[in-house]
Amino acid sequence: MKELLLGNEAVARGAYEAGVRVATAYPGTPSTEITENIAKYDEIYSEWSPNEKVALEVAIGASLAGARSICSMKHVGLNVAADPLFTVSYTGVNGGLVIMVADDPGMHSSQNEQDSRFYARASLVPMLEPSDSRECKDYVKTAFEISEKFDCPVIVRLTTRVAHSRSLVEIGERKGIELRPYVKDPSKYVMMPAMARGRHLAVEKRMAGLRSYAETTPLNRIEWGDRKIGVITSGISYQYAREALGDVSYLKLGMVYPLPEGLIREFASKVDKLYVIEELEPFFEEQVKAMGIEVTGKNLLPVTGEYSATLLRERLCGTKPEKVFDIDSQAPARPPVMCPGCPHRGTFHVLKKLKLTVTGDIGCYTLAALPPAQSMDTCVCMGASVGMAHGMEKARGREFGRKTVAVLGDSTFIHSGITGLIDVVYNKGCSTVIILDNSITGMTGHQHNPTTGFTIKGEPTKQVDLELLAKAVGIERVRIADPFDLKNFEKVVREEVEADEPSVIIAQRPCALLKQVRYEGPQKINENCRMCRSCMRIGCPAIVDKGDSIEINIALCVGCRLCSNVCAFNAIEKAGDQNG
Amino acid sequence: MDNLNIMIVGVGGQGTLLASRLLGKVAQKQGYDVKVSEVHGMSQRGGSVVTYVKMGKKVYSPIIEKGEADFLLAFEKLEALRWIDYLKREGTLILNEQEIDPMPVITGSTRYPGSITEKLEAAGVRIRSIDALRTAMECGNIKAVNMVLIGLLAGTSSIGEEIWIRSLEEVVPQKFLDVNIRAFNAGYGVR
């Protein structure tokens, strides 16, 4: 039976069919749906871990204990998990271990567009890269075989267009894979200098084996066509190249590290002109050039952004698409915005009013950097807001600190904000940290986390008490405030930035998209409106300035009534009964 | 059949994902190869979203390029204008007349362009338009905008109604099935 699956769903299916027993992840676009889908299989233990480092450590433990295990993350998550990655390369595995990493060329939903292939090379871990959903499933299964055969973790790299595209996949059965026996083996699993030296030698030996495997594996295949042009490519770039260049010759690499030098030499010698087509960094190109082979690649193609068939046609064939319709009108940009009813809107309304320097973080709330809020100064990585606020205060003094707050979400705080907070306390900082507690991991599409009280499967569990946690690390001033109670929230923020000690404000209000959040429904503007436009300042997409009137879009308004909090004339009331 | 390319554009939160999932099912039922490219993550939050559905004998790239779409299914007028270059000259724009102001319009830094439909028509775009929001409300659920538009697309396409209905039954949860079928039919019946 064939099913139309997302690349991420196909990965989940592959893990299931491969007999995986343990799956871990921290959510991150474009990787999130892998583990969301694995969680649907009762045969697999799955979890949202607090961050990618923990996720990988859990998967390593499961692997050493004899189970096939998979750990999934986005590209920047692999930075967090890099520490265990480099050493699990030395220990090797017991049950197969596959690390899924999803890169985001074009940065649809990321803070950088790093190329994770370099991690494979740096950590001496083989890497596979599928180009559609069918390959996603097949490659994951092959990755487990490679992992167990060569005693190493295997990274499978996706990019957004593979992870988030659906294509047809033949569904198979789950393979009955027994737990391998656990055998204590300090020389392999305790990485201290004496043992690690031995393991590094083993890793180099393994790499030699993997290099010869790369020469013969069907993961790497030559598709002969017109031999005037030969293209070395992988992943989604293969699909774009196929579309743009048609029936030329291709060396499609399914295994992107280590490269099959013999196969590349053979292919190169049989085509007139050789291209390398790869998004982001010249990872293949530099290695092919190091083999002494002449190749065309980044001299014509960009290292930034996504590729497309059109881009390849333009850069390689010199053909541009003709403009079909001639229209004299420009479409204004439509950047993403905080949803109607979003609790963050109240928080940033206040922070803007107080003209604070805001060190920000990763989540929906990063949108506060854009108009109309424009009240976020920085965003670097998960948890950075806290350390950066502390650093700013230490650099510019206490007075600057009184005008500075760090802002991050509940899940981000647990991920890596808590260590920053400990630093603030330990090193006698006075930072104010606002934890936006919206009861869920929002931007990635509502995943549970240690503060929500539920597991990935929706089972009730212990809930991290943010207030107690903050107090336990030494914060004496912990305040809980509703960001929609603007007056009180402003008062709390004013008091806490003034205090000459560190403080935590927990801004508590659930994400408006959560099912249990039921606001009263669409509002309307009544005859009391004086057109003062105060309501426009909160930047709600449901409130529209029609020039001579203000209107509320009933298709968007949820009825959170934040706008009526800022209206001085009682001009906003519940609209008549609307369905939906 | 030559490849059939359908592009769905709209504003994050309008239900474009369900529409693309349904189109994928329709393709599958006809035995075609199919690829659907979706948008997840930050751009889903009220931003401009675009989904590509490509079906045919063999589909490589999941992305539809400029001038390649047989249908442009626009959930919002401004988005139709933004993405119109992707439509083939002989293609059809399925247009929801709904307007949703983007943030630069809300903050007053720019204005929502006027007479979009007229300008598109003047440029020679073949358009089938509907007030899908009102139709959806009349059918009993404001969220069924997507099915009204799919209905209109279905009525314009050469694919039989039965395939659409059967696909719909497979992708829509049981408890919303009635209202979605009503919405589909309302769009389908527009002549």
Q: In this predicted complex, what is the ipTM? A: 0.95
Contact A4 B24 (CB under 8 A): yes
Q: Which residues numbered 122-181 in B keep a CB inside 8 Å of some CB on A?
A: 123-125, 133, 136-137, 140-143
- Please, what is the Cα angle at A10 between A161 and A282, to 5 degrees? 40
Contact B119 A327 (CB under 8 A): yes
pLDDT band at residue A216 under the 50/70/90 scheme? very high
pLDDT band at residue A546 under the 50/70/90 scheme? confident
- Does the domain at B3-188 match CATH 3.40.920.10? Answer given as yes
Contact A367 B112 (CB under 8 A): no
Query: What is the Cα–Cα distance from A354 to A350, expressed in whole angstroms?
Result: 6
The count of C-alpha atoms lying within 13 angstroms of the C-alpha of A158, restricted to the half-sphere facing its C-beta, is 35
pLDDT at B1 over 80: no
pLDDT band at residue B13 under the 50/70/90 scheme? confident
Per-residue pLDDT, A297: 98
Question: How much is the average pLDDT of A46-72?
Answer: 98
Q: Mutating which of A240, A324, A515, A556 best tests the B interface, going by the most B Cβ atoms within 10 A?
A: A324
Residue pair B46/B19 in contact (Cβ under 8 Å)? The answer is no
Contact A444 B43 (CB under 8 A): no
pLDDT at B91 over 90: yes
Per-residue pLDDT, A169: 98
Query: What is the Cα–Cα distance from B54 to B5, expressed in whole angstroms?
Result: 5
- Torsions phi, psi of A474, nearest 5? 115, 5
pLDDT at A578 over 50: no
Q: Which of B18, B87, B90 is nearest to B49 (CA)?
A: B18
CA B126 to chain A, closest CA, distance in angstroms equals 11
Residue pair A340/A541 in contact (Cβ under 8 Å)? The answer is yes
Q: Is A107 on the interface with B (CB under 8 A)?
A: no
Q: Which of A528, A571, A521, A481 is nearest to A340 (CA)?
A: A521
- The most distant pair of C-alpha atoms in chain A lies apart, rounded to whole Å, by 81
Residue pair A202/A85 in contact (Cβ under 8 Å)? The answer is no
**Which pair of structure tokens corresponds to residue A416?**
């890596």
Q: Is A548 on the interface with B (CB under 8 A)?
A: no
Per-residue pLDDT, B108: 85
- Torsions phi, psi of A290, nearest 5? -65, -20
Question: How much is the average pLDDT of A55-81?
Answer: 98
Strand partners of residue B36: A166, B53
**Which pair of structure tokens corresponds to residue A97?**
């271990």
Q: Is A547 on the interface with B (CB under 8 A)?
A: no
Chain A hits for B88, Cβ within 8 Å: 324
Per-residue pLDDT, B39: 81
Give the number of A-B residue pairs with CB atoms closer than 8 Å: 206
Q: Mutating which of A314, A334, A375 best tests the B interface, going by the most B Cβ atoms within 10 A?
A: A334
The minimal CB distance from B65 to the residues A308, A327, A367 is found for A308
Q: Which residues numbered 309-328 in A keep a CB inside 8 Å of some CB on B?
A: 309-310, 321-328
pLDDT at A534 over 90: yes
Strand partners of residue A230: A249, A274
Give the three-state DSSP class for B137.
helix
The minimal CB distance from A166 to the residues B24, B39, B123 is found for B24
**Which pair of structure tokens corresponds to residue A313?**
């046609």
Q: Is A334 on the interface with B (CB under 8 A)?
A: yes
Name residue A557's amino acid. Answer: C
Query: What is the Cα–Cα distance from B131 to A226, expressed in whole angstroms?
Result: 51
Q: Which residues numbered 80-109 in B keep a CB inside 8 Å of some CB on A?
A: 81-82, 84-85, 87-89, 98, 100-109
Q: What whole-number percentage of chain B has pLDDT above 70? A: 97
Q: How long a stretch of residues is chain A?
A: 580
Q: Is B44 on the interface with A (CB under 8 A)?
A: yes
Cβ neighbours of residue A212 closer than 8 Å, sequence gap 6 or more:
none
Average pLDDT, whole number, for chain B?
93
Q: Which of A378, A371, A429, A428 is nearest to A408 (CA)?
A: A378
pLDDT digits (tens, 9 = 90+) for A135-189: 999 999 999 999 999 999 999 999 999 999 999 999 999 999 999 999 999 999 9
For residue A551, give Cα distances in angstroms to A527, A533, A539, A541: 12, 11, 13, 11
Sheet with B87-96, side-by-side order of all strands: A2-6, A165-170, B33-37, B48-56, B4-11, B69-74, B87-96, B126-130
Q: Is A266 on the interface with B (CB under 8 A)?
A: no
Question: How much is the average pLDDT of A78-94?
Answer: 98
Query: What is the Cα–Cα distance from B134 to B140, expressed in whole angstroms?
Result: 10
Three-state secondary structure along A187-238? Answer: HHHCCCHHHHHHHHHHHHHHHHHHHHHHHHCCCEEEECCEEEEEEEECHHHH
pLDDT digits (tens, 9 = 90+) for A392-436: 999 999 999 999 999 999 999 999 999 999 999 999 999 999 999
CA A329 to chain B, closest CA, distance in angstroms equals 7
Chain B hits for A243, Cβ within 8 Å: 60-61
Contact A321 B78 (CB under 8 A): no
Q: Which of B44, B49, B59, B48 is nearest to B5 (CA)?
A: B59
pLDDT digits (tens, 9 = 90+) for A509-532: 999 999 999 999 999 999 999 999
pLDDT band at residue A341 under the 50/70/90 scheme? very high
Contact A334 B79 (CB under 8 A): yes
pLDDT at A541 over 80: yes
pLDDT at B156 over 60: yes
pLDDT digits (tens, 9 = 90+) for A348-364: 999 999 999 999 999 99
Chain A hits for B116, Cβ within 8 Å: 329
The minimal CB distance from A544 to the residues B61, B106, B140 is found for B106
Query: What is the Cα–Cα distance from A436 to A506, expressed in whole angstroms?
Result: 6
Query: Cα torsion at A530, A535, A541, A542 (round to 10°)?
Result: -60
Chain A hits for B89, Cβ within 8 Å: 324-325
Per-residue pLDDT, A308: 97
Q: Which of A162, A170, A101 is nearest to A132 (CA)?
A: A162
Which helix (H) or strand (E) segment holds residue A479: the answer is strand A477-481
- Could you state, in order of their start, the residue ranges of all structural domains in chain B? 3-188
- Is the pTM higher than 0.90? yes
pLDDT at A577 over 80: no
Per-residue pLDDT, B15: 87
Cβ neighbours of residue A435 closer than 8 Å, sequence gap 6 or more:
A408, A409, A410, A413, A417, A466, A504, A505, A506, A507
- In chain B, which residue's Cα lies nearest the Cα of A29? B41
Question: How much is the average pLDDT of B72-83?
Answer: 97
Give the three-state DSSP class for A114.
coil
Q: What whole-number percentage of chain A has pLDDT above 90? A: 95
Per-residue pLDDT, B26: 95
Contact A109 B13 (CB under 8 A): no
Per-residue pLDDT, A579: 44
Question: How much is the average pLDDT of B144-152?
Answer: 96
Question: How much is the average pLDDT of B140-154?
Answer: 95
Chain B hits for A32, Cβ within 8 Å: 40
Residue pair A230/A250 in contact (Cβ under 8 Å)? The answer is yes
- Please, what is the Cα angle at A518 between A506 and A444, to 5 degrees? 60
Token pair 């692997």 is found at A63
- Torsions phi, psi of A95, nearest 5? -70, 150
Token pair 């265990």 is found at A84
Contact B133 A555 (CB under 8 A): yes
Average pLDDT, whole number, for chain A?
96
Q: Is B70 on the interface with A (CB under 8 A)?
A: no
Residue pair A70/A469 in contact (Cβ under 8 Å)? The answer is no
Q: Which of A242, A238, A228 is nearest to A270 (CA)?
A: A228
CA B146 to chain A, closest CA, distance in angstroms equals 13
CB atoms within 10 A of CB A355: 8
Query: Cα torsion at A68, A5, B49, B152 (round to 10°)?
Result: -160
Strand partners of residue B94: B73, B128
Question: How much is the average pLDDT of A95-114?
Answer: 97
**Which pair of structure tokens corresponds to residue A128?**
């596979």
pLDDT at A580 over 50: no
Q: Say which range, A234-238, A531-535, B36-40, has the weakest mean pLDDT.
A: B36-40
Question: How much is the average pLDDT of B108-127?
Answer: 94
The minimal CB distance from B89 to the residues A243, A324, A580 is found for A324
**Which pair of structure tokens corresponds to residue A257?**
């590290």
Which helix (H) or strand (E) segment holds residue A78: the answer is helix A75-80
Contact A539 B107 (CB under 8 A): yes
Q: Which of A371, A372, A351, A368 is nearest to A433 (CA)?
A: A351
Q: Which residues numbered 19-48 in A keep a CB inside 8 Å of some CB on B?
A: 29-30, 32-33
Question: How much is the average pLDDT of A272-295?
Answer: 98
DSSP-assigned letters across all residues of A359-426 = E--SSGGGGGGSTTT----B--STTHHHHHHHHHHHHH-HHHHTTEEEEEEHHHIIIIIHHHHHHHHH
Q: What whole-number percentage of chain A has pLDDT above 70? A: 99
pLDDT at A562 over 60: yes
